[in-house]
Structure 1
Amino acid sequence: MPLPDFHVSEPFTLGIELEMQVVNPPGYDLSQDSSMLIDAVKNEITAGEVKHDITESMLELATDVCRDINQAAGQFSAMQKVVLQAAADHHLEICGGGTHPFQKWQRQEVCDNERYQRTLENFGYLIQQATVFGQHVHVGCASGDDAIYLLHGLSRFVPHFIALSAASPVYAGNGYAFCLLTTEYFFRLSR
């Protein structure tokens, strides 16, 4: 599989994506309502984007390309307010982090999106099991070489990043010997 072209950006700008759980109180099981929430907020989001992730129980909040962390935080704050109100209006709640502790992966509906449907065709039920919730930070670089240099400098902090993300010791109602179950999914999806 060929690598995508590198997209040049202004150095040290950033974009942040945050994957959120859509849950249905009072039991707080995952709800398959992200499409409905996206439709409810699409005209109220003025900066950033609220969009699908792999399954209908996932909602992704993504900033625009921001000049600094303060701009990104402002966009997240505004999106959060709109999304939380829409969720409350539909008797839903939003939460995040790692995995949902008692989800049934068999109930996860993959979004009707060309990319995710193609992923479902390639990986089958494994993609339904990959209903995991994380955060991605994209940092602008002037060239591919600069990006490699930056990654090399950050590589010594990988154990720290993994430790910070250790938020998923329970899955499908079972405790495991993993503090970070999310990486186990992606090992199974690698080819």
Structure 2
Amino acid sequence: MALNDFHVSEPYTLGIELEMQVINPPGYDLSQDSSTLIDAVKPQLTAGEIKHDITESMLEMATGVCRDIDQAAAQLSAMQHVILQAASEHHLGICGGGTHPFQKWQRQEVCDNERYQRTLENFGYLIQQATVFGQHVHVGCANGDDAIYLLHGLSHFVPHFIALSAASPYMQGSDTRFACARLNIFSAFSR
């Protein structure tokens, strides 16, 4: 399989994506209302993007390309403010990453997005089971060699990253006996 061309970007710029749970108090089950929140917050955004992720119970906050962590933190803070305000107005709640402890994958509605609909066609129910919530940090590199060098340097911290991700042992209301059930979800996908 051929690799995609390396996407060159300004060195050490960064972008952060946070995948959030949209929940429905008082039972705190996942809600299928992310479209409502996205429509409510879009006119208020000055930087970054709030968009769908795989299912209607997921919301993704994504910064733009930032020059430093302070700029990224300011964008995330501004997005958090408008999301929490809109959630309150719509009687919804927002939670952080990992997995939702008792959600049922059968209730998850895949969002109306061409990429996710195509994945639904290819993988069926597996995409509904991928209702897990994480954080992605993208770091700009001038070329592929620099990216490999950066990954090599960060590889010393893999145990720390794994420990930080150990926050979601429950899935579908059951103890998975994994410290982080989220990490095992995507192994079912063949590509």
Could you say which TM-score interval applies, normalised by the shorter chain? over 0.9
Query: Over residues 14-57 of structure 1, what are the superposed CA-to-partner deviations in whole Å (9 max), with x where a residue is unaligned?
Result: 00000000000000000001111100011101000000000000
Normalising by structure 2, we get a TM-score of: 0.97
Query: Over residues 111-137 of structure 1, what are the superposed CA-to-partner deviations in whole Å (9 max), with x where a residue is unaligned?
Result: 110000111111110110010001000
Q: Distance in 1 between matches of 2:169 and 2:61?
A: 24
Match status 1:63 vs 2:63: yes
Structure 1 segments unaligned to the other structure (5+ residues): none
Local SS of the residue matching 2:91 = coil
Give the residue type in structure 2 aligned to 1:77. Answer: S
Q: Shift of the alpha carbon at 1:154?
A: 1.0
Local SS of the residue matching 2:72 = helix
Query: Over residues 125-169 of structure 1, what are the superposed CA-to-partner deviations in whole Å (9 max), with x where a residue is unaligned?
Result: 011001000100000000011111111111121121111011111
2:147 paired residue number? 147
Give the residue type in structure 2 aligned to 1:172. Answer: Q
Farther off after superposition, 3-12 or 46-55:
3-12
Q: Shift of the alpha carbon at 1:183?
A: 1.2
Q: Shift of the alpha carbon at 1:2?
A: 3.8
Q: Give % identity.
A: 80
2:45 paired residue number? 45
Q: Where in structure 1 do 4 or more consecutive aligned residues deviate above 3 Å? A: none
Q: Distance in 2 between matches of 1:119 and 1:25?
A: 30
Local SS of the residue matching 2:78 = helix
1:17 paired residue number? 17
Query: Over residues 38-96 of structure 1, what are the superposed CA-to-partner deviations in whole Å (9 max), with x where a residue is unaligned?
Result: 00011101000000000000000000000000000000110000000000000001011
Q: Distance in 2 between matches of 1:123 and 1:147?
A: 31
Match status 1:30 vs 2:30: yes
**Cα RMSD, aligned residues only:** 1.0
